[in-house]
């Protein structure tokens, strides 16, 4: 059993879907990792379909909120051990300087909140996102965090690139 909890910050631009889902899923595992989420330009609310998917999967939503990454760059913020950017196309924002210089990774996945079309298409996009995040987070939970270094992060990034091809193959339940 790990001797301490490691903090993981999931980032995406609006902090209304991908990063919120990642935070909720990681924290539902009750592992040695604790998830947080934030965005460069937070929308100020959680996308209704993100909440719907989390509720359908019986994942906790208490305490989830859309917030700025500035909250985690302040001296009073919890120290992050790992920062994971979930934006599929980084928008060129200048990331804050993080206290303690945590290790970072990029798991670019499409934003389900911008999917257009029928309600079925929109729901499928959210379920695909959940499936994609769950597989990556399940792998992350099994890493030895005290040995986390640039080589390990390179492996996490490579894993993310390999799984990108699988993204469209994920199906929504039922």
For residue range 87-144, list pLDDT tens digits in order: 886 555 566 666 667 778 888 889 999 999 999 999 999 999 999 999 889 988 887 7
Name all domains of the chain by residue range, CATH numbers in brackets. 6-169 (3.40.50.2300)
Output the pLDDT for position 174.
Answer: 45
H-type helices in 14-149, by residue range? 18-28, 48-56, 119-141
Q: Which of 25-39, 68-82, 143-157 shows the lowest per-residue confidence on average (mean pLDDT)?
A: 143-157
Residue 173 has pLDDT above 90, yes or no: no
CB atoms within 10 A of CB 83: 23
Output the pLDDT for position 172.
Answer: 44
Adjacent-strand bridge partners of 38: 11
CB 70 within 8 Å of CB 62: no
CB 78 within 8 Å of CB 88: no
* DSSP H or E segment with residue 163: helix 150-164
């Amino acid at each position: 059993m790990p001797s301490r909890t490691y903090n993981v910050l999931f980032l995406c631009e609006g902090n209304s879907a991908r990063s919120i889902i990642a935070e909720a899923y990681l924290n539902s595992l009750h592992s040695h990792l604790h998830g947080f989420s934030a965005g460069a330009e937070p929308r100020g609310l959680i996308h209704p379909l993100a909440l719907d998917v989390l509720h359908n999967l019986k994942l906790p939503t208490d305490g989830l909120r859309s917030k700025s990454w500035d909250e985690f760059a302040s001296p009073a913020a919890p120290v992050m051990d790992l920062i994971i950017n979930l934006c599929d196309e980084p928008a060129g924002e200048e990331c804050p300087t993080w206290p303690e210089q945590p290790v970072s990774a990029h798991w670019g996945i499409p934003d389900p909140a911008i999917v257009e079309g029928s309600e079925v298409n929109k729901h499928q996009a959210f379920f695909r996102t959940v499936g994609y995040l769950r597989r990556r987070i399940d792998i992350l939970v099994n890493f030895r965090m005290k040995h986390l270094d640039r080589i390990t992060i390179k492996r996490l990034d490579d894993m993310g690139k390999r799984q990108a091809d699988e993204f469209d193959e994920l199906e929504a339940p039922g």
